[in-house]
Structure 1
Amino acid sequence: MDEETVERVREVVASIPPGQTLSYGEVAELAGLRSARLVGRILAEDGADLPWHRVLRSDGRAAPHLATEQAARLRAEGVLMVDGRLPREHRRR
């Protein structure tokens, strides 16, 4: 994967304000990519310094291996998950 792609994804994720979320697909779209999975891969490999917790699956869920930490970080920003999912009214799409 090229550095320009990584930087575009990093810029989009870095721009998500506290208390708001985007889906992997929305990040991909804003970064000019077709693959939401690529966004996940980039965050896994190069996202530790980003607000990765603001990126959720399209159904409003966190990735299972990150769910507890992600929900705690979002809760600290005033975003409450209900039954492990961001309520539909708080999702953009």
Structure 2
Amino acid sequence: MDSETAAARIRAAIRAIPKGQVAGYGEIARRAGLPGRARLVARLLSENEDAKLPWHRVLRSDGRIAFPEGSKGYREQSQRLRAEGVTVEKGRVRGQRAAATLDSQIWGPAD
């Protein structure tokens, strides 16, 4: 797969995250058909110039914002998430996790 196709698939996976929900970098990579490429997702987001891409819905797998605390990106991501009704406390999303897999996001953790 060429880099433009990979980038398009990653952007599509990010756009598919419903308002008020979050997903981890690794989950976005899996949804894009690129398992194990979480760093590619992060790099694409760091270079993003599409103002309509809901980048703020992408978090670390532990539900934390990846920007350094207090940075402009950190503040903006927190604000955008809160505007969608997501609870953010000390840089961590509360009440939901950045699902490791789509199955765990839909069905919850395995018993």
Give the TM-score taking structure 2 as reference length. Answer: 0.75
Flag structure 1 segments of 5+ consecutive residues without an equivalent. none
Structure 2 counterpart SS, 1:81: strand
Task: Give CA-to-partner distance per residue, 1:28-63, whole Å, 9 cap, x none.
Answer: 111111211100111111353300000001111112
Flag structure 2 segments of 5+ consecutive residues without an equivalent. 101-111
RMSD (Å), alpha carbons: 1.5
Farther off after superposition, 8-17 or 60-69: 60-69
Larger radius of gyration: 2
Deviating above 6 A after TM superposition, structure 1's stretches of 4 or more consecutive aligned residues are none
Which structure's residues are more often strand, by fraction? 2
Supply the distance in 2 between the matched residues of 1:32 and 1:9 (Cα, whole angstroms): 9
Which structure's residues are more often helix, by fraction? 1
**What fraction of aligned residue pairs are identical, expressed as a percent?**
51
Structure 2 partner of 1:43:
45
Indicate conservation of the 8 Å contact 1:10/1:47, yes or no.
no
Aligned residue pairs total: 92
Is 2:88 the partner of 1:81? yes
Structure 1 partner of 2:62:
59
